[in-house]
Structure 1
Amino acid sequence: MTEKKQRKKAKKKDSQLIIRINSEDRDEFVRLCEDLDTSAAREIRQFMRTFVEKNN
């Protein structure tokens, strides 16, 4: 198996984090992500990785 496939397999998304937010905030965030050609999930995952790295 190639290194790239091993990394992809090691980072398999196998968990969920459920949060409650205001629907207006969610809709604005999702709309902005779409305008920037990204997804809300991708941006939240990136925020989480950055936050953990910064605070560890």
Structure 2
Amino acid sequence: MAKNKDAQLLVRINKAQRDEFVALCNELETSSSREIRKFIKRFVSKHKVNQKTLKGDNNGEKS
């Protein structure tokens, strides 16, 4: 996966949830952006594995 950050994702959430998340990130000495990127990386990795298992490795055919 590319290391450079050349795209943005706009997410609309409740202001209170956003403020609580940002405050918690600050308490944990991390950034909200870093935590969102980690979540996305784990989510994609987890679901890539699941998709390969469901589709199989033989051109979409189950083994």
TM exceeding 0.5: yes
Q: The TM-score by the shorter chain falls in which range? A: 0.7 to 0.9
TM-score with structure 2 setting the length: 0.73
Q: How far did 1:53 drift?
A: 0.4
Query: Which residue matches 2:29?
Result: 37
Match of 2:16 among 5, 8, 24: 24
Query: Which residue matches 1:6?
Result: none
Instruction: Report the aligned-residue RMSD.
Output: 0.7
Give the number of aligned pairs: 47
**Ranges in structure 2 where 5+ consecutive residues have no aligned partner:** 49-63
**Ranges in structure 1 where 5+ consecutive residues have no aligned partner:** 1-9
Residue identity opposite 1:31 in structure 2:
A
1:13 aligns with 2:14: no
Identity %: 57
1:53 aligns with 2:45: yes
The structure with the larger Rg is 2
